[in-house]
Amino acid sequence: MKRHFLQLLLFAFLLTALPLLPALLIRPAAVPEPAERIAATESTFSTTEPPAVENQAGYRILQTATGEIREVPLREYLIGAVGAEMPASFAPETLKAQAVAAHTYAERQCMLSAGREELQGADFSDDPSLYQACLTEDEQRERWGTQYALYHERIAAAVDAVQEELLYYDGAPIIAAFHAMSSGRTESAAHVWGSEIPYLCSVESEADCSAPEFETTVQLTAGEVRERLLGAHTGLTLGKDPAGWFGEPAVSEAGTVLQLQAGDGIFTGQELRSILGLRSAAFTAEYADGQFTFTVHGFGHDVGMSQYGANAMALEGHSYQEILAYYYPGAELRPMTAEKPQ
């Protein structure tokens, strides 16, 4: 009975928090790429001056450490957001797709955050656990080191090419969810967050299977698994034999664990991903010699645009428009319809 009550509470929370969930993405570390490959893709960038954009004011960001509000121009914000969320060495069309997603995300947050007391008049805060990350110039220099000038120029060129455009559905900016790499097929929002969203449906992303660290393993002793499960859900009963702790999982077409029995409790794959410290909810579990081995595919919640899948499409010659149309089917890419509320 207690388990059903907890599940109802979790479901209610997810429905309330759904618009904020794109901020809760696991971000891939920057992946260095040979300079020759970067140079080979530079010709697809425009060398013209940045285009005129209506919303030049940018965003007001609450600095959680000081309580101050920092005003960041649009172009600077998008460069920082793309740099924080995606390897700067990715192909130009991939960076453009990410810039559109970052801009769409920010505009949606402005729409949702109006009047929120805790933001003190800001559009969003710099808390990366709640909102999209945005690297300052100093943070970019620290992350990219001697490649700062090259990477900053690449991302700036991508931003300049697309900063007038947003993704819309039914007249509103979409939930522009993205993740590092899928399990070979992206997941539907309904399976992850419990709510059907037409443009966040499952699509093939087979190239992800060739991405770096597509398959990872996490090994935990039976004692560690017991401690984590009981720490997350007090009152849970586990049997004496660890080999029988986990039942047969219910798995989606994309490979996500939807439900899995652990002891006398029922968990979602997303719950277990968090409890066990896994890179995604697409996993299998094996037990032998006092130790559990969790084999995991992909990285992130698996909803929306796969960044590695998008990069594979770009390297095959697809445009950012084609990438966005593929991973957000039904969403409309068009110029901003109005300035950000002041």
- In sign, the C-alpha dihedral spanning 221, 224, 229, 234 is positive
Residue 287 lies in a domain: yes
In 3-state terms, what secondary structure has residue 148? helix
Tell me if 172 is assigned to some domain.
yes
pLDDT tens per residue across span 165-203: 999 999 999 999 999 999 999 999 999 999 999 999 999
Separation of alpha carbons 99 and 83, rounded Å: 9
Task: Sort residue 157 into left (φ over 0), alpha (ψ -120 to 50) or beta.
Answer: alpha
Cα–Cα distance, 141 to 151 (Å, whole number): 10
Average pLDDT of the chain to the nearest whole number: 84
Same domain, 222 and 173: no
146 falls within a domain:
yes
Question: pTM for the complete prediction?
Answer: 0.81
Does an H or E element contain 137, and which? helix 137-144
- One domain for residues 136 and 35: yes
* Single-letter code of the amino acid located at 33: E
| Domain assignment of residue 138, yes or no | yes
| pLDDT score at 62 | 87
Round to whole Å and give the CA distance between 269 and 253.
14
Q: Identify whether the C-beta of residue 264 lies closer than 8 Å to the C-beta of residue 151.
A: no
Domain co-membership, 27 together with 170: yes
CA distances for 305 relative to 20, 173, 255, angstroms: 16, 15, 17
User: Domain for residue 194, yes or no?
Assistant: no
Record the tokens describing residue 302, joined without a space: 């698996």
Strand partners for 294: 218, 285
- Whether the CA torsion 321, 150, 214, 225 is positive or negative: it is negative
Residue found under tokens 């798995």: 251
Looking at the structure, tell me whether residues 173 and 222 fall in a common domain: no
pLDDT at position 53: 38
Instruction: For the chain, give the percent of residues with pLDDT over 90.
Output: 68
Most confident range, picked from 4-8, 52-56, 110-114 = 110-114
H helices of 163-240, in order, are 189-193, 222-232
DSSP state of 304: S
Mean pLDDT of 212-233: 96
Model pLDDT, residue 112: 82
Regarding whether 236 and 105 lie in a shared domain, the answer is no
Residues 137 and 233 in one domain: no
In this predicted model, what pLDDT tens digit does every residue of 11-25 receive, in sequence order? 444 434 443 343 333
What pLDDT score was predicted for residue 338? 53
**pLDDT for 31 beyond 60:** no
Q: Does residue 118 sit in the same domain as residue 221? A: no
- Residue 185 maps to a domain: no
Nearest to 59 by CA among 117, 102, 27, 118: 102
Of residues 140, 45, 55, the one with CA closest to residue 96:
45
241 and 118 within one domain = no
Q: How many residues does the chain have?
A: 342
Run of H or E residues at 153 = helix 148-162
**167 and 266 share a domain?**
no
Tell me, yes or no, whether 8 lies in a domain: no
Residues 164 and 106 in one domain: yes
What string of DSSP letters covers 29-49?
PP----HHHHHHHGGGS--SP
Full domain range(s) for residue 92 = 17-179+330-335
How many structural domains does the chain have?
A: 2
For residues 241 and 102, state if they share a domain.
no
Within-domain flag for 209: no
Which H helix or E strand runs over 77?
helix 74-85
Q: How large is the greatest C-alpha to C-alpha distance in the chain, in angstroms?
A: 68
Element (H, E) at 84: helix 74-85
Residue 52 shares a structural domain with residue 111? yes
Quote the CA–CA distance of 186 and 170 in Å, as a whole number.
23
